[in-house]
Structure 1
Amino acid sequence: MRRVRGLGLPVAWGTVAVTYRLTCPLAHHEGLGARLAGSAVLFAVGTGILLHARRTLLRELREARRIAGAAQGVLLRPLPERIDGLSVAAAQLSADPGAEIGGDLYEAVPTEHGVRVVMGDVRGHGIAALGTVAAVLGSFREAAYDEPDLERLLRRLDRALARHLRDRARTGHAAARPVPPHPVAEEFVTLLLLEIGPDGEIRALNCGHPWPYRVAGTRVEPLARADPLPPLGLFPLPAELPAVPCGHLLPGEALFLHTDGAEDARDAEGRFFSLPDVLAGAVREPPLAPRALLATVLTALLRHAHGAPSDDVALLMLRNDRAPSAPRDGGPCDTAPRAGHPTPCAQPTNQLR
């Protein structure tokens, strides 16, 4: 019925043109005045049809954006401000101007094993990447609570991605003539899994994703420098998947996770966005809350890319707001000290707030 009603105005304009041609005497004259009158009628009819088509397209675009916004609310649901003593803030920016969600994904959940975090980047961006984002996030939200270690969790995500790609290949084969040999051969996901234990111990598995930055006071440094595994979907996972130990996240320290769209953003002269320098400049002033720090980074990124990043961008920050662990029976702390901290239980002098 909506399509039938949508044809009403074009049919009316067409009726006007036909009626003029058949009944108006001017339509049968060859003089200049008759020709001008006929041209005016045709121009009015054409303009009316174009305006109607424009309104129809705008209405459909608004509906598509509304649906994309609803999908974003389901897939990248807002994270709580605090998870098991950690302050959390996240932001996402799509490179597709017609979409509110892209190919980046993130989630953080409290489990009995600690706070588990995933951040990933699906090949491609915009609405076309939504199916893969849904497959990976759906698997993580279930497996994060069930699996006892990161190795098994990563294997669950790998199997979920493989099933999704097989289903897409099967659908593509049914629709394609002739059948393409490898319809999803180049599909992959870069993925980072983190586990932050109750004592702040950090363990990680990285599949081709940028390492996060540790923000400790006014210092900004990579969380780890180990070589990552290949992205999911390109090669089978190795038989052994030992998680990378990344030290402890002490009270007041934060982790800044990001997708490669942040550091790959370029300005008009082709220079890359320097995320570490922007972070270091932001924490040099009075301590910022995670949400304020993300806003500062996003503002600098958009200014650098002139408001149009070439790839999706996702940012996630977690700050340890837990109380410092007290020594047991006057003994040493459970966590080992790191450079810049005289004792592992000492409160950092420059805390993020």
Structure 2
Amino acid sequence: MIRIKPGVRRGAGRRPLRRVLALGLPTVWGAMAISYKLACPLAQQNGLGARVVTSAVFFAVGTGLILHVRHALLRELKEARRVAGVAQSALLRPLPPRIAGLSVAAAQVSADRGAAIGGDLYDAIATEHGVRVVMGDVRGHGLAAVSTVAAVLGSFREAVHDEPELGSVLRRLERALARHLRERARSEHPSAGAEPDHPVAEEFVTVLLLEIGPDGEMRLLNCGHPWPHLLGEGRAEPMVRADPLPPLGPFPLPPELDVQHCGRLLPGETLLLHTDGVEDARDGRGRFFPLGEVLARYVRDTTVAVPQAVLGSVFTALLHHTAGIPTDDMALLALRNDRCLQRAQGARGTARPATAHPQPTTHL
């Protein structure tokens, strides 16, 4: 027989006392006001002095009740924000500072005030196939896109360990998104039956999948997402300018997927991934954010592109550009190769740094 010992949650013993205080204090304040009005002789008089005293008593009682209610609401709001913060951190979990010899830094800003996450998603995981990274952007922004973010990230975190090929990981993400959209369509249109005619037809997700092998070799699959930037040796440039695949959702993936081979990430080089909310941010005059110029200025002013410093520089420029009022979700993810220099120097003669002209692609 298995016996389950009932446990007592932390803080459970204080809850009855809080409830008594929450109800008792307003009751006491109200009883004092009624007792004064009925029992105090001064409250029965009609003189100016008596009226002033009576008004002062009821003003004090009303103020006390308002402050008490305000304090209770603030306490509940603080607890709700703490719980929401834990849930959001579990979904878009903080990345470790180092992953398999790569320095990592990530940050994001939600367009919804008070929300820690929105429609942008990212993750980086070390696997036996290399470090695999995802950066994505769900149509729309804010809390409405969180469920789709959860579906895509959950599938990615399982698929990167199971699938040896990057294309297979992408197909797993496509299937997970399709299941999520069907379930959402059923819940939003229950009268339409098991298969609605138009199951959230306009929903889509842009996705960038990146794999960095043990030797620094980079492989990319892009579904409608902005290309990353490579920072190193005084330059900052987009890695690839090839046509990406369509975003996940509206159209099925093609039978063969072209994996972009982008050379090696050499020691000291930094790769910056971002969502389109960064480049689409506008200032008061409608001008787009010049991400390329900001990165070029950064690499000119520094010798080593530290991931945390790169994100700080970009976000500082972004907030200045938008006057501190973002209109879309924005996310940045930077990775720098800190692996052994001797190990990569042997391949430097044959490795071509990632440029705007990718090597021939391989079909999966």
Q: Do Structure 1 and Structure 2 share a fold, with TM-score over 0.5?
A: yes
Query: Unaligned 5+ residue runs, structure 2?
Result: 1-15, 357-364
Aligned residue in 1 for 2:227: 211
Aligned residue in 1 for 2:66: 50
- 251, 264, 270: which is aligned to 1:248? 264
Structure-1 separation of matches of 2:201 and 2:262: 33
Query: Structure 1 stretch 296-305 or stretch 21-30: which is displaced more?
Result: 21-30
Structure-2 separation of matches of 1:169 and 1:20: 61
Structure-2 separation of matches of 1:139 and 1:56: 40
Residue identity (%): 66
Query: Unaligned 5+ residue runs, structure 1?
Result: 341-353
8 Å Cα contact 1:254-1:317 kept in structure 2: yes
Structure-2 separation of matches of 1:286 and 1:8: 63
Q: Does 1:315 align with 2:340?
A: no
Q: Does 1:262 align with 2:278?
A: yes
Structure-1 separation of matches of 2:50 and 2:199: 59
8 Å Cα contact 2:181-2:199 kept in structure 1: no
Structure-2 separation of matches of 1:327 and 1:4: 73
**Using a 3 Å threshold, how does the CA distance of structure 1 residues 337 and 302 change in structure 2: closer, same or farther?**
closer
Aligned residue in 1 for 2:310: 293
Q: TM-score, normalised by structure 2?
A: 0.78
Aligned residue in 2 for 1:150: 166
**Using a 3 Å threshold, how does the CA distance of structure 1 residues 4 and 34 change in structure 2: closer, same or farther?**
same
8 Å Cα contact 2:266-2:344 kept in structure 1: no
Aligned residue in 2 for 1:138: 154
Structure-1 separation of matches of 2:82 and 2:354: 49
Q: TM-score, normalised by structure 1?
A: 0.80
Aligned residue in 2 for 1:279: 295
8 Å Cα contact 1:172-1:183 kept in structure 2: no
Q: Which amino acid aligns with 2:150?
A: A
TM-aligned CA deviation for residue 205 of structure 1:
1.7
**Using a 3 Å threshold, how does the CA distance of structure 1 residues 39 and 296 change in structure 2: closer, same or farther?**
same
Query: Structure 1 stretch 48-57 or stretch 30-39: which is displaced more?
Result: 30-39
Q: Does 1:95 align with 2:93?
A: no
8 Å Cα contact 1:264-1:273 kept in structure 2: yes
TM-aligned CA deviation for residue 150 of structure 1:
2.0
**Using a 3 Å threshold, how does the CA distance of structure 1 residues 172 and 299 change in structure 2: closer, same or farther?**
same
**Using a 3 Å threshold, how does the CA distance of structure 1 residues 71 and 41 change in structure 2: closer, same or farther?**
same
8 Å Cα contact 1:325-1:333 kept in structure 2: no
Q: Give the RMSD, CA atoms, in angstroms.
A: 3.3
Secondary structure in structure 2 of the residue aligned to 1:306: coil
Work out the number of aligned pairs and report it. 334
TM-aligned CA deviation for residue 48 of structure 1:
2.5
TM-aligned CA deviation for residue 27 of structure 1:
5.8
